[in-house]
Structure 1
Amino acid sequence: MNAFEEEREMMLRVQQADFVVVELTLYTDTHPEDAEALGQWREAIKEAAHVRRQYEKRYGPLSLLSVPTEQAIELGWRWNSTPWPWQR
């Protein structure tokens, strides 16, 4: 797998994890007494954060909420510098 494919694969994992969080959030909004779903929601948030941190550590921040990251502090992250994550 080349570098481009690796990054795309990691981005896909971020998107999948975020999707699970959104879906479980919607479900738990309408089923607040479902303890199992609330547990899944908590685990999904942890997993999504973990996957996002892995991506950002390697490729840079995905949003302003991610700043400051180690990369931003060390390298002086510039949002107007290309390529942006969706341009790679």
Structure 2
Amino acid sequence: MDREQMDSLVELMETSFVITETALYLDTHPNDERALQLHNTYSQRYSELKSIYQAKYGPLKNTEMSRYPWGYIDGPWPWEINFTNF
């Protein structure tokens, strides 16, 4: 995994974290318009980042569409990523 791929993956994870946290917050504060806007902004950004990542590096999950040949196994597997080297 090169530096660019690692940076893309980290940005996807950070964006996913914001989406999860804002969703949890909105469960108890459904009328917070600012939080909803933040959630929607990050949801849209996540979709964009995911599309870019998958076009370049292949599927993130085994439930995603794959080009031929099956690309999910090309790795690295999540437990093989050494984030301390980046």
TM-score range, shorter chain: 0.7 to 0.9
Count of residue pairs the alignment pairs up: 80
- Rounded Cα–Cα distance in structure 2 between residues aligned with 1:65 and 1:43: 24
For 1:23-42, list aligned pairs within 5 A. Answer: 23-42=21-40
Structure 2: gaps (5+ residues): 82-86
Q: 4+ runs of 1 displaced by more than 2 Å?
A: 81-88
Q: TM-score by structure 1 length?
A: 0.77
Structure 1: gaps (5+ residues): none
Structure 1 residues 13 and 78, CA, compared in 2 at 3 Å: closer, same or farther? closer
Structure ranking higher in helix proportion:
1
Picking from 42, 48, 51, the partner of 2:49 is: 51
Structure 1 residues 8 and 48, CA, compared in 2 at 3 Å: closer, same or farther? same
- Rounded Cα–Cα distance in structure 1 between residues aligned with 2:71 and 2:40: 33
The 8 Å contact of residues 17 and 48 in structure 1, kept in 2 or not, is answered as: yes
The 8 Å contact of residues 62 and 85 in structure 1, kept in 2 or not, is answered as: no
Identity of aligned residues (%): 24
Q: CA RMSD in A?
A: 1.9
1:20 corresponds in structure 2 to 18
Q: CA deviation at 1:85?
A: 4.8
AA matched with 1:25: A
Q: CA deviation at 1:46?
A: 0.5
Q: TM-score by structure 2 length?
A: 0.78
